[in-house]
C-alpha cells in the first residue's frame, strides 16, 4: 500500500476536498427536501422521503451521516432540523404554493 494513501485514509479530520463533498451532500439533501415536498410523482416523493429520512436519522456510525457531516462542517444538526421543520410547516400552511428559500452557500461564494 502506498504510504501517502495510507496516511490520508487514517486522518482524524477531513481534508478540504472531503469537506466540499460533505457540503455538497448536505446541500443536495436539503434541496431535495425542499423541492420535492408535496411532490406528485412517485420518483419525486421518493427523493423527498430519502432526504427527510437521512436528515432526521440519529445515527453517527458512518462518515456521511447527517450527524457526522454537520459535526465536520461545524453545524448544529438540531438547528437545521428545526429550521427545515418550520419551513415545511410554512409550506404546508401556504397551500403548497412555492416558497422562496435560501440556498446553502460555501463561505466566500
Per-residue pLDDT tens for 29-73?
A: 999 999 999 999 999 999 999 999 999 999 888 899 999 999 999
Q: Are 11 and 65 in contact (CB under 8 A)?
A: no
Does the pLDDT value for residue 99 go beyond 90?
no
Domain positions in the chain are: 16-93
Contact 73, 23 (CB under 8 A): yes
Q: Is the pLDDT of residue 81 over 70?
A: yes
| CA–CA separation, 109 and 98 (whole Å) | 25
Q: Assign 93 a pLDDT band (cuts: 50, 70, 90).
A: confident
Amino acid at each position: 500500500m502506498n504510504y501517502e494513501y495510507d496516511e490520508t485514509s487514517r486522518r482524524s479530520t477531513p481534508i478540504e476536498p472531503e469537506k466540499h463533498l460533505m457540503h455538497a451532500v448536505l446541500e443536495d439533501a436539503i434541496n431535495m427536501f425542499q423541492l420535492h415536498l408535496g411532490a406528485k410523482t412517485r420518483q419525486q416523493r421518493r427523493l423527498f422521503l430519502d432526504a427527510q429520512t437521512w436528515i432526521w436519522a440519529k445515527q453517527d456510525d458512518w462518515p456521511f451521516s447527517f450527524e457526522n457531516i454537520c459535526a465536520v462542517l461545524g453545524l448544529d444538526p438540531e438547528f437545521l432540523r428545526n429550521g427545515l421543520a418550520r419551513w415545511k410547516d410554512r409550506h404546508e400552511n401556504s397551500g403548497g404554493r412555492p416558497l422562496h428559500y435560501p440556498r446553502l452557500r460555501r463561505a466566500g461564494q
